[in-house]
Amino acid sequence: MIQLARLCGYKVAASCSPANVPTVERRGANASFNSRSPPQDQAEEIQKITGGDFSLIFDASGVSQNAALAALKNSTRSKRYFSTVDDFTEIDVPSNIKEYRVEAGHLGRDTTLGRQVTEEATRMIPLLEGHIEYGAIVPVDCELYKESGWGALAEAIAYFQAGHAKKKLIVRVQD
């Protein structure tokens, strides 16, 4: 996401563990802050990095809405945007912040929304491939989780959250 944001012209402050600071900087982040700090501390760090001059936070993890909304509360911009991959949790977003939900969970589903999301994602693939070929986007290092299936997905999330994964995890939900 860092690379895509930079391609779109954004300056990026990325949340990550202290151990991953070199990785996010290699990916193009202009700054970083500790994702393991309490939400209010993260918001304060964002304030220090930006001076309050920002308008958009994208929560690629789907679990950082408290930090994101606390930070946006202190933005000096009149227009403020919050986007997250969490498309199922009830989030109390203040009325002065425009919210966008990434509906990736519908990808591949045989529903009207699922087909629409899948079609939109499919249209982006050639564009992303072009950026990869050109070298503007470098795929992240990843690790294939040892098991497969929906149960393995839950296990892999716990494995990742416990800090055991050294790279991004990929889980096969079907062999």
Average pLDDT over every residue of 147-172: 89
91 and 26 inside one domain: yes
Tally of structural domains, the chain = 2
pLDDT in tens, 93-143: 999 999 999 998 898 899 999 999 999 999 999 999 999 999 999 988 889
98 and 155 inside one domain: no
146 and 96 inside one domain: no
16 and 70 inside one domain: yes
pTM of the shown model: 0.80
173 and 90 inside one domain: no
Let me know if residue 134 belongs to a domain.
Answer: no
Let me know if residue 97 belongs to a domain.
Answer: yes
- What DSSP line would sit under the chain, residue for residue? -HHHHHHTT---EEEE-GGGHHHHHHTT-SEEEETTS-HHHHHHHHHHHHTT---EEEESSSS-HHHHHHHHHT---SSEEEEES--SS-----TTEEEEE--GGGTT-SSHHHHHHHHHHHHHHHHHHHHHHHTSS-PPPEEEEEEESHHHHHHHHHHHHTT--SSEEEEES--
Let me know if residue 42 belongs to a domain.
Answer: yes
pLDDT in tens, 40-93: 999 999 999 999 999 999 999 899 999 999 999 999 999 999 999 998 899 999
16 and 74 inside one domain: yes
Structural domain boundaries, residue 150: 142-175
pLDDT of 168: 84
